[in-house]
Amino acid sequence: MKHLLLISGLTVVLMVSASTKVFSQNAALSGRDVIVKVDQREDGDDRKSTLTMTLINKRGSKRIRQILSYTKDYGKDSKSIMYFQKPADVKGTGFLSWEYDDPDRDDDRWLYLPALKKVRRISGSSKNDHFMGSDFTYDDMGGRAVDEDEHTLLYEEKIDAQRCWIVESIPKDVEDNMYSKIIRWIRRDALIAVKVEYYDKAGKIMKVLDISDIRQQNSIWTIFKMQMDNKQEQHRTILEFNDIAYNIGVKDNLFKVSTLERGKLR
Per residue in 86-122, pLDDT (tens digit) is: 999 999 999 999 999 898 888 999 999 998 889 999 9
Question: CA 145, CA 39: separation in Å to the nearest integer?
Answer: 8
Residue 139: predicted pLDDT: 86
264 in a structural domain: no
89 in a structural domain: yes
- Three-class SS state of 264: coil
Q: What is the CATH number of the domain that holds 208?
A: 2.50.20.10
Mean of all residue pLDDT scores within the chain: 87
Per residue in 113-149, pLDDT (tens digit) is: 998 889 999 987 888 899 999 999 988 887 788 999 9
176 in a structural domain: yes
In 3D space, the residue among 74, 98, 73, 93 whose CA is nearest the CA of residue 82 turns out to be: 93
pLDDT at 5 over 70: no
Q: What is the pTM of this model?
A: 0.85
Q: How many CA atoms lie within 13 A of 8 on its CB side?
A: 30
Question: CA 169, CA 166: separation in Å to the nearest integer?
Answer: 10
Q: At residue 148, what are phi and psi to the nearest 5 degrees?
A: -80, -15
Per residue in 169-184, pLDDT (tens digit) is: 999 987 888 999 999 9
DSSP state of 130: B
Residue 265: predicted pLDDT: 65
220 in a structural domain: yes
- Helix ranges (DSSP H) in the chain: 31-39, 138-141, 257-262
Per residue in 6-52, pLDDT (tens digit) is: 333 322 222 333 333 444 344 479 999 999 999 999 999 999 999 99
- Three-class SS state of 200: coil
117 in a structural domain: yes
C-beta atoms surrounding 189 within 10 Å: 11
**How many folded domains does the chain comprise?**
1
87 in a structural domain: yes
Question: CA 229, CA 69: separation in Å to the nearest integer?
Answer: 23
97 in a structural domain: yes
Residue 115 structural domain: 18-258
Per residue in 185-242, pLDDT (tens digit) is: 999 999 999 999 999 999 999 999 999 999 999 999 999 999 999 999 999 999 999 9
7 in a structural domain: no
Is-contact 30 219, C-beta < 8 A? no
In 3D space, the residue among 44, 64, 40, 45 whose CA is nearest the CA of residue 54 turns out to be: 64
